[in-house]
Chain A
Amino acid sequence: MSISKRCSTAPTLFKRLKNYFINRRGREALPVRLHWRRLYVLPSKPGLFFFLIGSTMMLAGLNFNNNMSLMLVFLLFGLAQVILYKTFFNLKNVVIDQVHAAPVFAGERYTLRLQLLAPTDRYQIQVKMDESVDTANILHQSGQWQLAADAEQRGYQPLPRLKLLTRYPLGLVTVWAYCQPKATVLVYPRPEQPCPSFAHHGGVEGPDSSVVQGDEMDDLRTYQSGDPIRDIAWKKSAQGQGTFVKKYHLKQGKELCFDYSQLNLKDIEKRLSRLTAWVVEAERQTLTYQLKLPQFDSGMGRGERHYHECLTALAVFGPGGVS
C-alpha cells in the first residue's frame, strides 16, 4: 500500500500538513540537484545514544573535576560536529539525473532504475520509494539504484515520492531529502487470465481460412461472456444445454481483428483487459492482428513496435488511463 493511499484513508491534519510541506515543490523535471536548502538533518537513534553517553561522561568529568574526561567528552562532541558536516556533504549537491522504468502490466511490479550523479564520491546513499529501499554508492561521478513498486492502475502513472537518505560515515546523523520527479511509468491494463479464445470481430480473412458454420457439436464451443451476439448458435443453445457459439478454425496466416466496439461487456476495464490478453496472446503466437478502439486503429501488423503501440493505446484509453 502506498503512503499516499494510507494518508487518503486516514488523513490526520498533521500528516496532511507534513505532506503538503514536503511536496511543496510539486513534480520536478529531472535532473534535480539537491541544493543544501532542501536537505533535512536530524540525529539518528544511535546518534541520540551517543549524545546520552557523552552527557553522562560530561557529568562525571565535571563532578569530579576530571580534566581528561572532559577533554575526551569534548573530543567526542567535536567528532559529532565533524560527522554532522561529513554526512551533510555526503548528500549535498547530489543530482538525480534520470529515472527509467520499463512498462509493465497492471498488477505486476515495476522496476525503477535511478541514476544519481555527484562530482565527488558519495557512499551509502539510500533511496526509498514507498517500501522499496536500495543502497548504493556514487563512484566515478555516477551511481545506479533499483527500486520496485506495485503497478496498480493502467496508464502513465506518476512515480511515488523518492526519499534520499544517508547516514554515512558513522550513523550518528541522518540527512535526507525528498523529490517527486516529473516522470511516469507506463502501466498496461491487466490481461485477462486465463486468456479467452479469440472472437470473430471481422478482419481480413485469409484465402485458406474456412469458417465452419454448422450445428455440429465439434464446431461449437461454449459461450464466454463478451462473445458477439451474432456468433451465437441459437439452434443448439435452444436445446437448453447451455449457450454455444460458432467456432472458427484458425490457421496460420489468419489475420485477427480485436474490436473494442464489438465486445459485449459492460465494464470498460474488463473490455480492455480482454483485448490486452488477446494482443498478448496473438503476439506470443506471432499472429498478425489489428486493434480497434474508438479513435484508434492500429492497422494490421505484428512485432515489438506494433505490440507496444497497441498496448499503449489500451493503457491510455478512455477515462481510466491518466496521461
Chain B
Amino acid sequence: MASQLSTKQVFWIVLAVVVAVLPQLYRLPLWFAPMMTVVIAYRFYVQVKHIKKAYNIILMMVAIAALLLIVYSQGFGLSREISVTILITMTVLKLLETYRQRDALLVVMLCYFVAMTRFLYSQDLVLVMYLLLSAWVTTHALAVINYQHGSAWFEKKQLKASIGWLAMALPFAVLFFLAFPRLGSPIWGSPDIFGEGKTGISDEMSPGSIIELFMDDSPAFRVTFGSNNKPENNQLYWRGPVLSEFDGRTWTRHEFRRSRGQVAYDRQAAIIEYGIEMEPNGRHYMFGLDVVLNAPQGSLMSPTSTLFSMNKVNQLKHYRLSSAVTDRLYQRLPQYQRKWLLDFPEGLNLQTQIMIKQWQATDDSAYGMINKALNWFRTEDYLYSYSPPALHSNEVIDEFLYESRRGFCEHFASTFVVMMRMAGLPARVVTGYQGGVDMGDYVLVKQSDAHAWAEVYIDQPDHELGGYWQRVDPTSVVSPERLFRGSGNIIEQRRSFFDFPWLRQTREHLDRYRFRWNQWVRDFNVSKQQALFDAIGIQHRDGKVLAVILLSVLAASGALIFSWLWWRQRPRYNNLQQWYLRFMDLFKKEPAIYARQSAGMEAVTHSIVEQYPGLKKSVNDFQQCYLRIRYRNEQLTPADRRRLQHFFERLKKDVKKRYHSQSRS
C-alpha cells in the first residue's frame, strides 16, 4: 500500500513528532538521534518515491531490535526512564507504518503524551512555553491530517485557527486546573521513582568534583526572608552534607543513625526565620542557613546539623526554618567521633606534616594553629581559580600546597581540614552553598554558588557541652570577594563558551518569573487548593460540592466557547442584504414564497405577483428600487435608504391590508 497521505501531511506529522521528542533527546540513549534521523529520512524518501509500506514482519523486527537496544542501554525494569524511552521510540518507529489517516491520527495524538512525559522531569517555565508550542504544532498536524485548506506548507489561516482553538481551551484548562481534586499522595509508585531529579551537591568530594556545579547557573533554591532581616552576604552559609572521612583523596560522609542532640549557641546571635523553596535534586539533603535550630516536619536533623528529607527531593519542596546566624555551635563531641575527626593518612603528605610540627613548636593553642594556617594561605601566593592543574599524585595536600598553589574552595577547605587534623584539632569539611543573588523579595541561590568550608572543634572545658564547632572558611582569606560577589563574578576568565555577563544577568532576571510561576502554578497542591476554596467562601469540600463546581466550570466554559463561536459564525449581511431579508420576512407565513428566498429577488417577486396580483404595484416598485441599487454596485447612500424605506412601508401596508381582507372574507 502506497502512502495515502500528502507530503504536506507527512511533513506536519514528522514535525509534531520531532518537536515533542526534541526536549528529551538529551536523556535518551546515544543511538536514538541517528535512528530518528534515519526513520524520518526514510519516511520522506518513501513519500517522494511512492514506495509501498514495508512488510509487517520487517517492521516487527525493527521494533524488537529497538526494544533490545533500549534494554541494552537502559536496563530492564519498570522505571520512568525505560517506560518513557519505550513510548518515545515506539512513537518514532510508528512513522514507518504511517500510511493512512487512521495511523497518522494515532501517531499525532501520541505526541501529546510524549510532550507530557517531559513534565515528569522538569516543570520549568521556559519548558512550559516550549511544550505549549508543541501542543500547537500537534493540534495543527491533526487539523492538516483532516483537511488541508491550501497547498502552502504553512497555511496562515489554518495555523491561526489551531492556535485559536487552544486559546479558547485555556479558560477551561485554568478553571479545571484550580478546581480539580488532587491526591495527597500517589496511588501507585513512590515519588522517589517518578520525580524531577537533578544533580546538585553530592555526598562525596574529591579534587575537582565541585567544578561541574560552578558551570551550572540553574537555581538550587530560593529563600524568602521576613521584612528586612536578610543577613549580609558573607554570612549566608547554606549548610549541606558534612564530610568527615578522608582516604587521602576523597572525602565522604559518615552515616549517622540518630538525630542531633543538645546544642547551644551564643546568646547574642540573631535568630531569623525564613522560607525555602528548594528545586528538586533527587537526593535527601535539604539546605538551611548555618546554624539551623530545628528540623521542619518530614525531615531529620543529623548530628552534623545537616537536614535530611524523609523522601528524596524530587519535586519542588517548601519548608520554613529558623536559624541562628553564628559561626560557632556548642555541641558535645563524643570520644569515638573525635577519633575519626583526627584521622588522616599517616604516611602521606610528609612535607605538610613537618611544617605543622614546626608551627606547633611555636604556638600550640587552637586559635594559634588556625591563624597560622590562614596566614599561610594569605601570605604565600595562592590563587583562586576555576581551572587549577589536576592533582595526580597520592599526596594531594603536598602537591597543592607546594606545587600547584591554585584551586578553589574545595582545595582550600580540604587542605585546611587535613592541616588541622595533623595539628591534633578535630576538623571536618562542610559542603553547601554560599551567598546568593538578592532578587528583591527573595534570594536566589544557584548551583554555581556551591561552596565548601571547614569546621574545627575547639575544646572549652568550662562549658557544659565541652566545646564548640568553629566555622573557618579558608577561601575567604585567599579571595575575600568570593563571599560578597559570588563565585561567578570574581573571576575574569569565562567558564564556558556561552558564559557572558549579560546572559547571566538575563537568566537571573528571568528567575523572577520562575519564582512567581513556582508559587502560583507549579506548586499548586491540595493545601493551596484548600486555601483557594476558603478564599472564595466554599468551606465544605465533599464530593457533591466538588462535582457541582466541576460541572459548573464545564458548563460555564462551554457556554463561553459556544457563545463566542456562535457569534463568530453568525451570518454577516451587508446593508442591502438586510433589506432583502426584511422583505422576505413579510412573507414568512407563505411557505410557497418564502421557500424561494435563495432563488433571488426576481423569482420571489414573480411568485408573489402570481399568487397575489393585488400586490403587483407595490412589490414591483420595491423590486425596481432594490435592483437599481443592487446593480449599481456601490455603498448605500442615505437617499437610497430613504427610498427603500418608503417603498418598503407601502408594501408592508398592502400586505397587512391583504391579510385583513383575507381574515374578513
Contact = CB atoms under 8 A, between A and B. Distances in A.
Contacts of A72: 112, 115-116, 119, 131, 135
Contacts of A97: 598
B566 interface: yes
Contact of A71 (B106, B173, B554): B173
B571 A95 contact: no
A46 B177 contact: no
B347 interface: no
A67 B315 CA distance: 11
A188 interface: no
B139 A170 contact: yes
B11 to A, nearest CB: 18
Contact of B112 (A57, A85, A89): A57
Interface string B492-531: 0000000000000000000000000000011111000000
Contacts of A81: 169, 172, 554, 557-558, 561
A171 B524 CA distance: 34
A83 interface: yes
B176 interface: yes
A67 B178 CA distance: 10
B322 interface: no
Interface in A24-81: 29, 31, 46, 49-50, 53-54, 56-57, 60-79, 81
Contacts of A63: 183, 186-189, 194
A31 B595 contact: yes
Contact of A61 (B116, B188, B562): B116
A128 to B, nearest CB: 18
Interface in B535-554: 554
A123 interface: yes
B113 A169 contact: no
Contacts of B558: 81, 85
Contact of A78 (B170, B188, B315): B170
Nearest to B524: A67
A117 interface: yes
A75 B146 contact: no
A119 interface: yes
Contact of A124 (B146, B191, B562): B146
Contacts of A49: 105-106, 109
A97 B600 CA distance: 13
A241 to B, nearest CB: 62
A119 B195 contact: no
A110 interface: no
Given A63-B186, A63-B187, A124-B147, A68 B128 contact: yes
B120 A170 contact: no
Contacts of B102: 46
B110 A86 contact: no
A72 B138 CA distance: 13
Contacts of A54: 112
A126 B433 CA distance: 66
Given A69-B119, A72-B135, A120 B571 contact: yes
- Find the residue from B128, B161, B177, B565 having the highest chain A CB count within 10 A: B177
B197 to A, nearest CB: 13
A204 interface: no
A168 B146 contact: yes
B180 interface: yes
Nearest to B106: A49
A75 to B, nearest CB: 4
Given A74-B176, A79-B139, A50 B109 contact: yes
A280 to B, nearest CB: 35
Contacts of B173: 71, 74-75, 77-78
B110 A53 contact: yes
Contacts of A70: 177, 180
Interface string B565-597: 110011100000000000000000000000100
Contacts of A46: 102, 105-106, 109
B113 A57 contact: yes
B413 interface: no
- Find the residue from A57, A95, A169 having the highest chain B CB count within 10 A: A169
Contact of A66 (B112, B119, B565): B119
Nearest to B187: A63
A74 B182 CA distance: 14
Interface string B184-215: 00111101001100000000000000000000
A67 B123 contact: yes
B168 A169 contact: no
Contacts of B561: 81-82, 85
B142 interface: yes
Nearest to B167: A82
Contact of A171 (B105, B172, B562): B105
Nearest to A44: B105
A120 B183 CA distance: 46
Nearest to B102: A46
A167 interface: yes
Contact of B182 (A62, A77, A85, A119): A62
A79 B557 CA distance: 11
B165 A83 contact: yes
Interface in B69-116: 102, 105-106, 109-110, 112-113, 115-116
Please name the 5 residue pairs, one residue from A and one from B, whose CB atoms are nearest each other, closest first. Answer: A78-B169, A119-B571, A78-B172, A74-B173, A75-B173
Given A53-B112, A67-B524, A76-B112, 18 more contacts: A49-B105, A49-B106, A61-B116, A64-B191, A65-B186, A73-B116, A74-B180, A75-B170, A77-B176, A78-B172, A81-B554, A82-B565, A97-B598, A120-B571, A124-B147, A167-B146, A168-B146, A169-B161
27 contacts: A46-B102, A57-B113, A62-B182, A62-B183, A65-B186, A65-B191, A67-B521, A69-B116, A69-B120, A70-B177, A71-B177, A71-B521, A72-B115, A74-B172, A74-B180, A75-B135, A75-B169, A75-B173, A78-B170, A78-B173, A82-B165, A89-B565, A89-B569, A170-B139, A170-B142, A170-B143, A171-B146
Interface of A: 29, 31, 46, 49-50, 53-54, 56-57, 60-79, 81-83, 85-86, 89, 95, 97, 117, 119-120, 123-124, 167-171
